[in-house]
Amino acid sequence: MFNRLPSLPTEFDLPYTDDQPVDNELQWLAPHLLRAILLLAWGERYDWFMGVNLGVYYDPDLPAIGPDAFLSLGVPRFRDNGQLRLSYLVWQENNVMPQWVLEIVSKKPGGEYDEKMTIYRDMGVLYYVIFNPDYWQRDGHEPFEVYQLQDGQYVRQLQNPVWMPEINLGIGMEMGSHEGGQLRQWLYWYDQQGQRLPAPENVIETERQRAEQAEQQIQELKELLRSRGINPDQR
């Protein structure tokens, strides 16, 4: 049988950047927040890869598509040779297609509800998420929409969050504060019970409170010792 793989282009042969910046800050912050949460939850797992603003080549004869983020399970998070990915070539990733894709709508519509949806459907992406917190009324859609591939067609899932059993994650939208900013709508990962997975700032705040409680307990213990005539600071 003819093995086509050696003749297929590598990521070094194909364009890996269009030299175009993201349209707004949200397109950078929202995917990186999701990735940071996943690193906290799956830090000890190495069988997944989440790309942010990385080109996905799904056919060697077609140009890449550049989702704001995508998640692939069943591929190594780190390569054995230590090289970082310039882009994601499905035929170099054991033919693992991303199971989850995110598009964030900007001031200039980018075909999220038609052209890109058709491409992701034909690619076989199981879950397609469109995050549109700023322009949803303009576009006649909701701020948060999740589509699941069923029998070759995307079917919208109306829950929030939406549980995705094939990925063992839920995805949802709720109010939150990220990097000390004002409250606004963000995307978060959830467990099967609908509980939000901790974000980095949640972990930092928990550790801060724990440190404050420990310090308070130490001071209370010192006061108790002093009340009994013992100097806790004397060595």
Task: Specify the CATH number for the domain of residue 147.
Answer: 3.90.1570
The pLDDT value given to residue 3: 45
Q: Strand (E) positions, the chain?
A: 48-52, 56-57, 69-73, 88-89, 100-104, 127-131, 144-150, 153-157, 162-164, 169-176, 184-190
The pLDDT value given to residue 215: 60
Token reading at 117: 């949806």
Where residue 211 falls among pLDDT bands split at 50, 70, 90?
A: low
* The model scores a pTM over 0.85: no
The pLDDT value given to residue 1: 35
Contact 222/232 with Cβ under 8 angstroms? yes
Q: Which value, to the nearest 10 degrees, does the dihedral of the CA atoms of residues 132, 141, 151, 61 take?
A: -50
41 and 119 inside one domain? yes
> Which of 105-119, 134-148, 175-189, 205-219 comes out lowest in average pLDDT?
205-219
Q: How far is Cα 214 from Cα 206, in angstroms, rounded to an integer?
A: 12
144 and 226 inside one domain? no
Token reading at 118: 């058709």
234 and 150 inside one domain? no
The pLDDT value given to residue 2: 32
91 and 119 inside one domain? yes
Give per-residue pLDDT as tens, 57-83.
999 999 999 999 999 999 999 988 888
Number of domains the chain contains: 2
The pLDDT value given to residue 186: 96
182 and 208 inside one domain? no
Rounded to the nearest 5 percent, the helix, strand and coil shares of the chain are: 25, 25, 50
The pLDDT value given to residue 187: 97
Contact 171/164 with Cβ under 8 angstroms? yes
122 and 64 inside one domain? yes
182 and 222 inside one domain? no
Give per-residue pLDDT as tens, 90-132.
999 999 999 999 999 998 888 999 999 999 999 999 999 999 9
204 and 193 inside one domain? no
Domain that holds residue 154: 5-197
pLDDT at 232 over 50: yes
Three-state SS string across 32-74, please? HHHHHHHHHHCCCCCCEEEEECCCEECCCCCCCECCCEEEEEC
Mean of pLDDT values over 183-188: 94
Mean of pLDDT values over 204-225: 61
20 and 96 inside one domain? yes
144 and 214 inside one domain? no
CA–CA distances in Å: residue 68 to residues 3, 26, 55, 197, 218: 33, 10, 9, 21, 48
pLDDT: which is higher, 209 or 7: 7
Q: How far is Cα 197 from Cα 172, in angstroms, rounded to an integer?
A: 11
Percent of the chain with pLDDT over 90: 66
Token reading at 172: 């949802």
Give per-residue pLDDT as tens, 143-156.
999 999 999 999 99
C-alpha distance across the termini of the chain, in Å: 80
53 and 169 inside one domain? yes
Give per-residue pLDDT as tens, 154-183.
999 999 999 999 999 999 999 988 877 778
155 and 220 inside one domain? no
pLDDT: which is higher, 11 or 157: 157
Quote the DSSP letter at residue 141: S
Contact 103/22 with Cβ under 8 angstroms? no
Q: How far is Cα 139 from Cα 105, in angstroms, rounded to an integer?
A: 10
pLDDT at 42 over 60: yes
Q: What is the mean pLDDT of the chain?
A: 86
Where residue 137 falls among pLDDT bands split at 50, 70, 90?
A: very high
Contact 175/188 with Cβ under 8 angstroms? no
